[in-house]
Chain A
Amino acid sequence: MRALVFCAPALILYTTFMVWPLLQSLRFALLDRTGEWVGLDNFRTLFGDPLWSHRFWRALRQNMVFFLFHCLVQNPVGLGLAALLTVQRLRGANIYRTLIFVPTALSVVIVGFAWRLILSPLWGIVETPLLGRTSTALPTLSLISVWQWVGIPMIFFYATLISIPHELIDASRVDGASAWRTFWRVSFPLVLPMLGVITVVTYIANMNAFDLVFTVQGVQAGPSSSTDLLGTLFYRTAYGSVQGGGDRAMGATVASATFGVILVGLLVFFLGWRRRVRTYQL
């Protein structure tokens, strides 16, 4: 009984503001614009109609590219920075740690605006319109996002690395292993479970990403929709683009499909990764 009382505030808030809207959103996906029950018709449109399915798969594909950039750049860089911060004789480690972490605390609007100026061909540092070409816009946006968020994996990895008992490191060194070998053979296996957690958190955040694209490229997610992610597709569908009104039913359908994508991703992670990675009791 007492447990229930202590849980109640979180339970009530979470149910009211997370679970209930989520269920409502799933329900809206089964209604049409006027609120009539249409069953799975909206999903048939989304996946069956060439126009809609093209938009959806394109957004999903680009979203995966966005996520891959985070996996392949953010994780190694975060781990590398964390490893550097744990170097014993590094001066000013706290300053570096703070500086690298600061962008995560900034508003995406500020980050987007600053990078638009930095990359502006007119008054920025590069003459190539990186954000204006279909081939470079998505990688550029991904790297901006990585720049902003790299502090998170860094801090997680750092916390894991400093929690590794010194005896293990010392033993490895006494046995004659180099610093490099010690890192890969002793520290890295202990960090690996954390890599999984960070990847999952990144996956969820990336699949819900919207704000950076919206700030930098606008609701159109240009050029030629090449930076359209599931989040921006949802926004355009539900609330309309610059000139047209939105369609809440199809918007809810896109949102539900996104929810499905995240769910499938999580299942893959829990079944595929979590069971295979060994954790060690330290």
Chain B
Amino acid sequence: MRTTRLVATGAAAMLLVAACGSGDEKSGGDDNGVTLTIESWRSDDKQVWDDTIIPAFEEGHPDIHLKYQPTAPTEYNAALENKLDGGEAGDIIACRPFDISLELYDAGHLAAVDDLEGMDAFGDIARSGWITDDGSTTYCVPIASVIHGFYYNKEAFDALNLQVPETMADFHTVLDAIAQDGTYTPIAQGTGDQWDIAEVDYTGIGPNYWKGEQGRQAIIDGQAKFTDTAYVAPLEEMATWGRYMPNGFEALTNDDSKVFFANGDGAIYPGGSWDITGFERDADFDIGVFKPPVPNGGDPCYISDHVDIGMGMNADGDHQDEARTFLEWVASKEFAELYTNALPGFFSLRDDPISVDDELANEFVAWRDDCESTIRLPSQKLNRGEPALWDELYEVSSDVVNGTLTPADGAQRLQEGLDAWYTPGE
């Protein structure tokens, strides 16, 4: 018995050593070319990278191999920073938008990418997530954005003979009709997670009130305050939503809301284009989407078209030339089409239109033709002090929907939190 165990342990140890050995061989530059490791938080996309994107790249670049190495989203920022500090990070870095990547660039971990071929295909909004404050240097190739909107149950709308709402007044007519009928819960959402209330609801409908980029810049420049009507009005609108949500919505998480909607219990789900794949898989009824309703008929529309993911290169990486080749491919139209279609709901940030096969994704992306794009208001410059604007907005918007905070007091708190550390123009 004892001998068997000893032999087994020995064998296992030898296997382990062998495994380490072969691992080492792969990572360096062997005779078959160079292997670039990609650091990312999108573990959900590993299969798409391994099966679709990487083979497509390697076909055209036989000398360069890619290894997609994701970390869990909640651990990515801290893990990546530690790896970069310790000189162990991969050559290619998936970039979070705004300050998290800016800090990495400032610390010298990310290289500038302005001179890469294909970068002229990206406009100001596309670059906004990965550009220095003075606008001089871009340090990641923009890959994709996500768009906010409202999913709706087409069967519910047909049964009640409802039209897709254009204005907030229409929206309330629809909500009241659904509530009165009683078969469906009007809004399938809860405030338990907070983030969806702030990101999807407030910065989803808000741009229609504060006129997109104009209102976002006004807060950054200090010309507008959260206590102004344009920023309080979306909170006032959201304050009415609690009564349309499921019973006990205060304790429901985003996952709960998605299951509730996909089960066919809710009529409308405020969400983002990233939910497309899940709903197409889980719901057995027809789903449509509509863009955030405008306050008054005839108002111009604005959509939250938020830059979400980019890719940059490790400034200390061993294979700079190969990394540049790969990033130039990432900036190309070929990659954009591949990525957008493999991951419906993540839209290429290139200026030229990209065709998408997915029907819902097409509806989302079509809004770009009619409406102005903007990004989530707190993300750029406004989230880097204490209290961070996002943290404040999470609490304020869910408290407002819960009815435990008035919109006016909530707006006051947002502005005071910002005033505590932020000086416009610095």
Contacts and interface: CB of A to CB of B under 8 A. Distances in A.
Nearest to A247: B386
Contacts of B384: 244
Given A222-B398, A223-B250, A245 B386 contact: no
A175 interface: no
Interface string A246-274: 10000000000000000000000000000
Nearest to A130: B251
A127 interface: yes
A61 interface: no
Contacts of A243: 378-379, 383, 388, 390-391
Contacts of B195: 220, 242
Contact of B252 (A120, A130, A246): A120
Interface residues of B, number: 38
A223 B398 contact: yes
Contact of A241 (B250, B252, B391, B399): B391
B99 interface: yes
A191 interface: no
Contacts of A119: 251
A24 interface: no
A218 B99 contact: no
A129 interface: yes
A82 interface: no
Contacts of A244: 99-100, 383-384, 388, 390-391
Interface in B103-135: 103
A14 B386 CA distance: 36
A245 B77 contact: yes
A222 B386 contact: no
A223 to B, nearest CB: 7
Given A222-B192, A225-B395, A245 B103 contact: yes
B402 interface: yes
A103 interface: no
Contact of A132 (B100, B249, B388): B249
Given A220-B194, A244-B383, A245-B103, A132 B395 contact: no
A239 B399 contact: no
A223 B191 contact: yes
Interface string B256-275: 10001000000000000000
A76 interface: no
B78 interface: yes
Given A127-B248, A241-B388, A120 B256 contact: yes
Contacts of B1: none
A223 B378 CA distance: 21
Contact of B256 (A122, A133, A219): A122
A246 to B, nearest CB: 7
B277 interface: no
Interface in A208-222: 217-220, 222
B256 A222 contact: no
Interface in B219-271: 246-253, 256, 260
Contact of B192 (A132, A134, A240): A132
Contact of B77 (A128, A129, A224, A240): A240
A52 to B, nearest CB: 8
Nearest to B75: A239
Interface in B65-82: 74, 77-78
Chain A contact-residue range equals: 20 to 34
B404 interface: yes
B99 A223 contact: no
A51 B250 contact: no
Given A222-B398, A243-B390, A121 B251 contact: yes
A220 B250 contact: no
Interface in A43-58: 51-52
A229 interface: no
User: Which one of A116, A128, A129, A225 has the greatest number of beta carbons of chain B within 10 Å?
Assistant: A129
Contacts of A240: 77-78
Nearest to A241: B391
B86 to A, nearest CB: 15
Contacts of B49: none
A119 B383 CA distance: 34
Nearest to B417: A51
Interface in A105-130: 116, 119-122, 127-130
A120 B251 contact: yes
B417 to A, nearest CB: 8
A29 interface: no
Interface string B358-394: 0000000000000000000011000110111011001
Nearest to A218: B193
Given A223-B402, A244-B391, A132 B193 contact: no
Given A132-B248, A243-B379, 19 more contacts: A51-B387, A116-B253, A120-B252, A122-B247, A129-B249, A130-B251, A131-B251, A132-B252, A134-B404, A217-B192, A218-B193, A220-B394, A220-B395, A222-B192, A223-B404, A242-B390, A244-B384, A244-B391, A245-B103
20 contacts: A120-B252, A120-B256, A122-B248, A122-B260, A127-B247, A129-B249, A129-B250, A132-B402, A133-B251, A218-B194, A220-B194, A220-B395, A222-B194, A222-B398, A224-B395, A240-B77, A241-B390, A242-B390, A243-B390, A244-B100
Interface of B: 74, 77-78, 99-100, 103, 190-195, 246-253, 256, 260, 378-379, 383-384, 386-388, 390-391, 394-395, 398-399, 402, 404, 420
In the A-B complex, the 9 residue pairs with the closest CB atoms? A121-B248, A132-B250, A132-B251, A129-B251, A129-B248, A243-B390, A129-B250, A244-B388, A131-B251
